[in-house]
A and B are shown apart, each in its own frame.
Chain A
Amino acid sequence: AQSVAQPEDQVNVAEGNPLTVKCTYSVSGNPYLFWYVQYPNRGLQFLLKYITGDNLVKGSYGFEAEFNKSQTSFHLKKPSALVSDSALYFCAVRDMTDSWGKLQFGAGTQVVVTP
């Protein structure tokens, strides 16, 4: 069974400051890891993914995430947050051996960036 934990319901940050959204995961095999963002009453937009290789993954809108196998974490980061980054962020994991491609999502973290 696979699971994802996003320990913070909400993250508050001032515009221009670094933003970090935490994610830890559990899978029986090797993971594929994903970050998505959701704006109100919209679908999810893909930000980035870790498949293999370099532990630091760069994605859309200046976001990046660092895969840490020993800590089973995949935290999302942005060096300088914008007010427009305020949204709901989801981490998701897929077991590499799952042929059905099912994703397990975390509960989401609301990011609030204040001017």
Chain B
Amino acid sequence: GESVGLHLPTLSVQEGDNSIINCAYSNSASDYFIWYKQESGKGPQFIIDIRSNMDKRQGQRVTVLLNKTVKHLSLQIAATQPGDSAVYFCAENMAWQNTDKLIFGTGTRLQVFP
């Protein structure tokens, strides 16, 4: 029979537009969050992180927003480029528990078309 895989939400954007990828994290006790990018055939790669004492952090072309009230994390990519096409994962951590174990979300596929 046909296997059923994870249904990854897909975001399709036009090159040059801004992208917003959302993530609902699971644990209100999490205090450290990371966004990873995974290109086809490669391992996940760190993009940006944020601590729970912040609600916004900016990097180069990327911004992460954290809303602890509703346990929501978003990644904004400015002027999306074809090279941004990948699967994006959010991950959460409870650093206050002295653990570096990460809990990963299921991921969102970003497709950039010309």
Instruction: Report whether chain A binds chain B.
Output: no
**A contact residues vs B (CB 8 Å cutoff):** none
**B contact residues vs A (CB 8 Å cutoff):** none
